[in-house]
Amino acid sequence: MQEEEWSIKPETDENPELKQMLTESKEQYNNGQGMSTAELLPFTTKRLFTIIYHGANRS
């Protein structure tokens, strides 16, 4: 089975703001100002659980 290659290049070619945002994000990460997925995931998972839990328990 052959893997498909996936790219966001078509989207960034169509949307200069998206391209700029990704460029800035990459620069910030390279300068130590960003978070890796491993660093972000625990916060995101906890936050998402909180949103889902409290949203499901609203009366």
Q: Which residue has tokens 């960003």?
A: 34
- Looking at the predicted structure, is the pLDDT value of residue 59 above 80? no
- The model's pLDDT over 2-57, given as tens digits with 9 standing for 90+, comes to 666 788 899 999 999 999 999 998 899 899 887 777 887 787 777 777 777 777 65
Predicted local distance difference test score (pLDDT) of residue 22: 92
Q: What is the domain partition of the chain in residue ranges?
A: 33-59
Are residues 18 and 12 in contact, defined by beta-carbon separation less than 8 angstroms?
A: yes
pTM, rounded to two decimals: 0.49
Alpha helix locations (H) across the chain?
A: 9-14, 16-30, 37-56
15 — phi, psi (to 5°)?
-130, 95
Closest Cα partner for 38 from 27, 29, 49? 29
- Looking at the predicted structure, is the pLDDT value of residue 58 above 70? no
Predicted local distance difference test score (pLDDT) of residue 36: 78
